[in-house]
Structure 1
Amino acid sequence: MTAPLHVTKGHGTQNDFVLLDGRRTPELDTALVRALADRRAGIGGDGVIRLTASTDLPEGVALLAVEPAATWFMDYRNADGSIAEMCGNGVRVVADYARALGLWDPTAGELVLGTRAGVRRVCRVDPPAGSSEADWYAVDMGEWRLPAGEQAAAAGADAEVTVAGLAVPRPALSVDLGNPHTVLALADEGELAAVDLTRAPDVLPVPPHGTNVELVVPVGESVAADGSTVGRLRMRVHERGVGETRSCGTGACAAALAVRTWAGAGSPTVWLVEVPGGTVRVTALPGGRVELAGPAVLVAELDVDVEALAGV
């Protein structure tokens, strides 16, 4: 009899993951990831994350040479089993998982986490006033860039996206946060509700490694308690290798940065991004970096019958 596989289920604004302790689970394969992520015959999730020692993976060993503090690594797979660079919501959830496992004490300082998109630094922060979630985490998501450069920024677009439910293709802006994103603006919330994301949007030029597609509607600005202006937008997302998800952390960053690029000088530094699963906060940092903050929730621990799961 195969020993049960101990897993944890967690989510960040309902972007949900199956979490595994790499000290118990030495490796992942495509079949196991797909079976765990299956919403009917498995546990269900947008992805599977194995928190493992950086020394267990070549990518982690390479990061340790640059940042010795990155002793833990986020081994992330999409629901279809494909390897992904990282996930912004997933970073927060795996940080809370590290806390629960006793591998990180948020009161002692930041968690320095290795990912395939580079090092990510996480700290626990106070939730905003009125938030029902107890645990919020802020992640320095590193540098972001426009793959098509200043020409795309000036034009406002470097791609064209066809989405079911929209009559014509729309111009869109590519944004790279270590993983690829393509952001298009819609006219209003009616259009946002009408789009059909049960199938992947068509993107031209075709991205060589696929792309996440974010559809956004800016919904105004407000004034924070400190007098600063905060932008607000609503978003839906189709994630490569998954489909439509309730939230996407890197996608929220890409959406806010695209809208900020379109708005030009004087646009807000801080954006609240409303997704179907909740709200996250995106802050443009000096030096071309970006921070993502939002909740992380661990909802269950369970033992999986691997032999039964193998029949999925």
Structure 2
Amino acid sequence: MHFFKYQGAGNDFILIDNRTHFFDSQNTALVAELCDRRFGIGADGLMLLQTHADYDFEMVYYNADGRIGSMCGNGGRCIVAFAKHLGLVEQKTNFLAVDGVHEATLNAQGDWVSLKMIDVNSISRDGDAFVLNTGSPHYVKVAHDLDQLEVYQEGKSIRYAPAYAQEGINVNFVEPLAEGYAVRTYERGVEDETLACGTGVTAVALAMAFDKKMMGDIMTPIKAKGGDLTIRFSQSSAGVFNDIYLEGPANLVFEGTINRN
């Protein structure tokens, strides 16, 4: 089985060209095995690039636990870079993901991607935290001494809290910086902290703008553990967010063949 390994700000993924539909998309055990960091290739998730009649390609995303996942922002950026590597796109693309159609642009080298995310029409509160959906559900909470925070324990307790346990939620802890924010994320499906989360940093940027009642065009730099990302968006007076773009690196790490017994 031939595969490609990509990473976007430390969020790493297995990419498989499945245009011939050779991959058994129902085999969740296989996906989990491939994502295992000791017995497989190792990744936060796995993506299949497939053909689609109306778009440049279709993105099918699996969490590291083998189950079909909701939208993955950094995964979306990586699969766009992968599509360029395969010669399917040049510097602009439209592709289909689980949450709908996404637009993206790339630089000439194909290692930097700006991905348009879905609009966000509402943000709710859970105590002093914010809850919203940016293609995946997210919980955003301001934290102090972020470097010292036990993200695994704190994130897991929120992810499995009664209010969220049935479907799960991604948990983001955010600390203001002189410019932008530092973010650490516990991801459902991975069930651990990841070095970055695209839909998560997007949720953080929107939640912080919502809290500060910032209007108009906004650009928010984010520092994740695995690298720097930028979120551009607009907020209307009605609290609606649109023209949301997640921007940052998307790099091919290696490609290879894994033997299957």
Give the structure-1-normalised TM-score.
Answer: 0.75
Distance change in 2, residues 1:264/1:220 (3 Å): farther
Where 1:92 maps in the other structure, the secondary structure is: helix
| Aligned equivalent of 2:24 | 27
8 Å CA contact 1:82, 1:241 repeated in 2: yes
| Aligned equivalent of 2:102 | 120
Where 2:231 maps in the other structure, the secondary structure is: strand
Where 1:200 maps in the other structure, the secondary structure is: helix
Runs of 4+ in 1 over 4 A off after TM superposition: none
User: Whole-Å Cα distance in 1 between the matches of residues 110 and 105 of structure 2?
Assistant: 14
Distance change in 2, residues 1:98/1:191 (3 Å): closer
Distance change in 2, residues 1:285/1:196 (3 Å): closer
Asked if residue 7 in structure 1 is aligned to residue 3 in structure 2, the reply is yes
User: Whole-Å Cα distance in 1 between the matches of residues 165 and 129 of structure 2?
Assistant: 13
User: Whole-Å Cα distance in 2 between the matches of residues 195 and 236 of structure 1?
Assistant: 10
CA RMSD in angstroms comes to 2.1
Give the superposition deviation at 1:192.
4.4
Where 1:201 maps in the other structure, the secondary structure is: helix
| Aligned equivalent of 1:63 | none
User: Whole-Å Cα distance in 2 between the matches of residues 249 and 11 of structure 1?
Assistant: 12
8 Å CA contact 1:201, 1:213 repeated in 2: no
| Aligned equivalent of 1:246 | 195
Give the superposition deviation at 1:193.
2.3
Larger Rg: 1
Q: What are the superposed Cα offsets for residues 255-275 of structure 1, whole Å, 9 maximum, x if unpaired?
A: 111111111136971000100
User: Whole-Å Cα distance in 2 between the matches of residues 218 and 204 of structure 1?
Assistant: 29
Task: Please give the residue correspondences for 1:214-225 in structure 2 after superposition, counting only pairs within 5 Å.
Answer: 214-221=172-179
Unaligned runs of 5+ in 1: 56-67, 127-132, 153-157, 161-170, 222-231, 308-312
Task: Please give the residue correspondences for 1:37-186 in structure 2 after superposition, counting only pairs within 5 Å.
Answer: 37-54=35-52, 68=54, 70-106=55-91, 110-125=92-107, 135-146=111-122, 152=124, 158-159=125-126, 171-186=128-143
Distance change in 2, residues 1:17/1:39 (3 Å): same
User: Whole-Å Cα distance in 1 between the matches of residues 81 and 214 of structure 2?
Assistant: 36
| Aligned equivalent of 2:163 | 205
Give the structure-2-normalised TM-score.
Answer: 0.89
Moved more, 193-202 or 35-44: 193-202
User: Whole-Å Cα distance in 1 between the matches of residues 116 and 140 of structure 2?
Assistant: 21
Distance change in 2, residues 1:240/1:271 (3 Å): same
Task: Please give the residue correspondences for 1:292-311 in structure 2 after superposition, counting only pairs within 5 Å.
Answer: 292-307=246-261
Moved more, 244-253 or 196-205: 196-205
Q: Which amino acid in the other structure matches residue 5 of structure 2? A: K
Give the superposition deviation at 1:172.
1.2
Give the superposition deviation at 1:13.
0.3
User: Whole-Å Cα distance in 2 between the matches of residues 204 and 256 of structure 1?
Assistant: 26
Task: Please give the residue correspondences for 1:221-236 in structure 2 after superposition, counting only pairs within 5 Å.
Answer: 221=179, 232-236=180-184
User: Whole-Å Cα distance in 1 between the matches of residues 19 and 215 of structure 2?
Assistant: 48
User: Whole-Å Cα distance in 1 between the matches of residues 150 and 9 of structure 2?
Assistant: 21
8 Å CA contact 2:85, 2:110 repeated in 1: no
User: Whole-Å Cα distance in 2 between the matches of residues 96 and 278 of structure 1?
Assistant: 17
8 Å CA contact 2:185, 2:193 repeated in 1: yes
User: Whole-Å Cα distance in 2 between the matches of residues 6 and 206 of structure 1?
Assistant: 37
Unaligned runs of 5+ in 2: none
Q: What are the superposed Cα offsets for residues 42-67 of structure 1, whole Å, 9 maximum, x if unpaired?
A: 10000000001136xxxxxxxxxxxx
8 Å CA contact 1:92, 1:296 repeated in 2: yes
User: Whole-Å Cα distance in 1 between the matches of residues 87 and 113 of structure 2?
Assistant: 17
Q: Which amino acid in the other structure matches residue 46 of structure 2? A: V
Q: Which amino acid in the other structure matches residue 44 of structure 1? A: G
Q: Which amino acid in the other structure matches residue 122 of structure 1? A: A
User: Whole-Å Cα distance in 1 between the matches of residues 223 and 150 of structure 2?
Assistant: 17
Where 1:197 maps in the other structure, the secondary structure is: helix
Q: Which amino acid in the other structure matches residue 300 of structure 1? A: F
